[in-house]
Structure 1
Amino acid sequence: MKGRQAGWGSAVLDRFQNPTQVLATGFGSVILLGTLLLRLPIATTSGESADWVAALFTATSAVCVTGLAIVDTGGHWSAFGEGVIAGLVQVGGFGIMILATLFTMIVSNRMGLRARLMAQAQTSTLTVVDARRVVRNVIVFSLVSEAVVAVILTGRLMIGYGESFGTALYHGVFHAISAFNNAGFSLWPDSLTRFVSDPWICLTISGAVIVGGLGVPVIFELLRSWRRPSRWTVLTRVTVVVTTLLLSVGTMVFLMTEWRNPGTLGALKDSDKLLASFFTAVMPRSSGFNTIDVSQMESSSWLVTDILMFVGAGSAGTGGGIKVTTLGLLAFVIWAEIRGEPQVNIGHRRLTESAQRQAVAICMLGVALVAIATYVLLIMTPHSLDQVLFEAVSAFSTTGLSTGITPDVPPAGHLMLVVLMFIGRIGPLTLGSALALKERIRRYELPEERVIVG
């Protein structure tokens, strides 16, 4: 029995030495399966097989919980196709939340991963039970959250809009899955613009997006210690503070910029403007719903949305982007450098140098990836820089918002966005975990040299 445990421990150790292969293979396999299912004639309303590019793009967008679409989700796909999309979103959301939670627990533990696995392989510790408990908690929490959102949406659609129970339930469940997993797929061709003045719909969807974006570790810690912020971990503290700051600033910026814009907030009542601005600030966390026409937004609002999308959601959440923790850590690094402090401190904790390097690496690689994709798309399409940049950031951050140019991009551009969504989905998680778990001990030090920076 002990030999079998040791063999299992060694196998897990080998797996975690290269988490990129595990994630890439898993997500790639699900995308392939989703593409084949969406290619079936039964998956479209016309009864004809969907185009390969459309099926691949939609499957990738669903598994990577992005929400970008080159065909009308509610009009092009049949009930079977929409069910496949919802299933792919659920699988993608489960996968990200489970793996992100496991990585968060392992990386944040005082003992390194290798030491933990070696010790567990040689003793009778309950490694498998711990992993199963985490998986169970994530699945139960996700399903309960989605059920609550689905009940609220179903009731509102029945009472406020006269939909039958079956139709309301169908729409409620689909959009609950899409919202909690930060996917942004909608069965209505105008996304959620018809509900721009409905706080029941908008606030419920926003709440689901925020909770899904924060992640299970942060939510559970908030539930346990919400009255004692001083006991929060650095992950929870940075995630909550930065998320709150970005939501507040985003709401105010959109409110001021779009206040008189007749294409967005100009025609709404003041109270509805505030609701729409808040909703618009929440969605770049990594969900592609919209209650105002994104294509009619001011260029300055597009730029702010680019920034919010690039940052994304929490490290253990379903959202994409470089993550709010990365931005928070970089802010503390800059603040410590400005003050001339030799160490970077967050509350009563000191930030390790490896964490600082990881934050810089993730941010710079994200910038490079978006820049390259934007350049390629500019060559492929006749659209302006701000539109193409918006599309590239949305795909990389798996947000799903669009200025409306997605269907007009040529097939080669669609494949480019597929690659960008795939890398953007697995990239930050695998890169962050790989960098955190791959620490080498240098047995010598080179002579130090001061270099002029700036």
Structure 2
Amino acid sequence: MKNLLGQINTPSRVVVFAFMAVVLIGTGLLSLPIAIEGERASLTSALFTATSAVCVTGLAVHDTASHWSVFGELVILVLMQVGGFGIMTLSSILALIVSGKLGLRARLNTQAETKTLGPGDVRQVITGVAKVALVAETLTAAVLTVRFVTGYGEPVGRALYYGVFHAVSAFTNAGFALWPDGLMRFVTDPWICLPLALAVVAGGLGFPVYAVLRENWRRPKRWSLHTKITLGMTAILLAGGTLAITGIEWNNPGTLGPLSPGLRIMAGFFHTTMTRSGGLNSVDISQMNENSWLVSDMLMFIGAGSASTGGGIKVTTFALLGFVIMAELRGEPDVSAGRRRIPEHLQRQALTIALLSVAFIALGTFVMMMVTPFKLDRVLFEVISAFATVGLSTGITADVGTAGHLVLTALMFVGRLGPVTLGAALALHAQTRRFRYPEERPLVG
């Protein structure tokens, strides 16, 4: 444990302190009178909003458009961009540090599998992440701007502002919107919903996937196992989630019921996409069935891809646990996927991250149940949304009180940085031992 803490305090503490510094700067800026339109925000409110923006979550105590001034909105925009770009860059750099700490054979195997850059190529990582973000956000902003001008009669300047803000919010998986009802007014508009959904998916894949696709996008056989798992699980979760949400909400008059069949499917797909950490909403989540909340809880917990702007335990972690279960059920001695054997230390890392995440969510839910008057289903949804940095809510965020806001703030920060820093620490902590204890098998099950 002492050695593990030492690893956490080595490269990972740079990540934690960097994000903490940005959060504090954002809190200070949002506390200024110039940042608010009306009554001055409390320090807790400013801290909550800054943490939500930097950790690209999207939960909000106040309506973004009416409470914050243009200056405040620009601060939130910058914090979203810094948080999204920072987490992609720092996650990729931590991967380089991890590969550099491994032995020569393990390092070559890691680079061959992940197609990541070699140790020391930090500049290339930063440049690559910046290019991906710039292209995705520019294309999304362009489509949205044109639509706001042609479809809603917005002036070019305001349309451009709306387009850029929501493009950044979508790609960084931040989930902030400039309307009180989120994007509910656009639930029937595919030119708004689909570009934003695609931007969320793009931001949730992760730079290592783009590095592979850039070299071998026409040759899937050469894709790394990480890329295959990320793309495959993304497709499965999007398809399965859309089918489940659309089916459950099909006749719900408060959500999908009033829409045409095609628009119901689009709205179901949009909501499913946003549970990957997008956080924007085109329907009233508070009116959803409890079964839909449960499906959303599961999708939010799994999250998006590693080294991406998305949160959750990550699709690769979830997939690895699935491979472990399948191998155990089949009685196979090794865990394999795609004709590749999964190292035991990666299996333990996946299990550790998943179980610790469950523990944090359980603890957060327990505390929130003590300090708020809301029922378990709504509280659990809120806690998972905060820890997985999703930003969706059943409508209770503003009413959980100061204690609840502080709990959610802590969950957002830990959920955003915890899996990243813990994964790096566990990898750096890997070591060999020259002896083994005698084996004994306790009863299981």
Q: TM-score, normalization: structure 2?
A: 0.93
Q: Deviations over 1:5-27 (max 9, x none)?
A: xxxxxxxxx98862331121111
Find the counterpart in structure 1 of residue 46 from structure 2. Answer: 55
Find the counterpart in structure 1 of residue 22 from structure 2. Answer: 30
Look up the SS of the partner of 2:57 in the other structure: coil
For 1:245 and 1:169, the matched residues in 2 are separated by 34
1:166 aligns with 2:161: no
What is the aligned-residue RMSD (CA, Å)?
A: 1.9
1:297 aligned to 288, 307, 325, which one? 288
Find the counterpart in structure 2 of residue 452 from structure 1. Answer: 443
For the 8 Å contact 1:344–1:351, the answer to whether it is kept is: yes
For 1:392 and 1:248, the matched residues in 2 are separated by 25
For 1:52 and 1:101, the matched residues in 2 are separated by 33
Pairwise CA distance, 1:103? 2.8
1:258 aligns with 2:252: no
Any stretches of 5+ residues in structure 1 without a counterpart? 1-13, 117-125
Q: Deviations over 1:290-310 (max 9, x none)?
A: 101000000000000000000
2:394 partner amino acid: T
Pairwise CA distance, 1:129? 6.3
Question: What aligned pairs does 1:91-106 form with structure 2 within 5 A after superposition?
Answer: 91-106=82-97
2:36 aligned to 36, 44, 57, which one? 44
Find the counterpart in structure 2 of residue 419 from structure 1. Answer: 410
For 1:453 and 1:248, the matched residues in 2 are separated by 35
1:394 aligns with 2:390: no
Find the counterpart in structure 1 of residue 433 from structure 2. Answer: 442
For 2:33 and 2:357, the matched residues in 1 are separated by 38
For the 8 Å contact 1:20–1:426, the answer to whether it is kept is: no
1:184 aligned to 164, 169, 175, which one? 175
For 2:344 and 2:280, the matched residues in 1 are separated by 38
2:129 partner amino acid: V
1:431 aligned to 416, 422, 442, which one? 422
1:163 partner amino acid: E
Look up the SS of the partner of 1:214 in the other structure: coil
* Shift in alpha-carbon separation, 1:17–1:383, aligned structure 2, 3 A: closer
Pairwise CA distance, 1:433? 1.2
Look up the SS of the partner of 2:321 in the other structure: helix
1:44 partner amino acid: I
1:268 aligned to 256, 259, 262, which one? 259
1:216 aligns with 2:207: yes
1:20 aligned to 8, 12, 15, which one? 12
For the 8 Å contact 1:70–1:406, the answer to whether it is kept is: yes
Pairwise CA distance, 1:104? 3.4
For the 8 Å contact 1:154–1:165, the answer to whether it is kept is: yes
Look up the SS of the partner of 2:341 in the other structure: strand
Look up the SS of the partner of 2:121 in the other structure: helix
Find the counterpart in structure 1 of residue 133 from structure 2. Answer: 142
Count of residue pairs the alignment pairs up: 431
* Shift in alpha-carbon separation, 1:76–1:238, aligned structure 2, 3 A: same
For the 8 Å contact 2:248–2:292, the answer to whether it is kept is: yes
For the 8 Å contact 1:250–1:278, the answer to whether it is kept is: yes
Pairwise CA distance, 1:217? 1.4
1:269 partner amino acid: S
For 1:115 and 1:257, the matched residues in 2 are separated by 46
For 2:40 and 2:105, the matched residues in 1 are separated by 48
Look up the SS of the partner of 1:54 in the other structure: helix
1:341 aligns with 2:332: yes
1:424 partner amino acid: G
* Shift in alpha-carbon separation, 1:54–1:240, aligned structure 2, 3 A: same
Pairwise CA distance, 1:128? 8.6
For 1:52 and 1:87, the matched residues in 2 are separated by 19
The runs of at least 4 aligned residues of structure 1 exceeding 6 Å deviation read: 14-17, 113-116, 126-129
2:298 aligned to 307, 312, 323, which one? 307
For 2:333 and 2:441, the matched residues in 1 are separated by 15
For 1:115 and 1:344, the matched residues in 2 are separated by 18
For the 8 Å contact 1:106–1:112, the answer to whether it is kept is: no
2:407 partner amino acid: M
2:401 aligned to 383, 394, 410, which one? 410
Once the two structures are aligned, what percentage of the paired residues are identical? 57
* Shift in alpha-carbon separation, 1:244–1:350, aligned structure 2, 3 A: same
Find the counterpart in structure 2 of residue 327 from structure 1. Answer: 318
For 1:391 and 1:202, the matched residues in 2 are separated by 23
* Shift in alpha-carbon separation, 1:298–1:131, aligned structure 2, 3 A: same
Pairwise CA distance, 1:229? 2.0
Q: TM-score, normalization: structure 1?
A: 0.92
Q: Deviations over 1:121-173 (max 9, x none)?
A: xxxxx989611111111112212211111111100110111101011000000
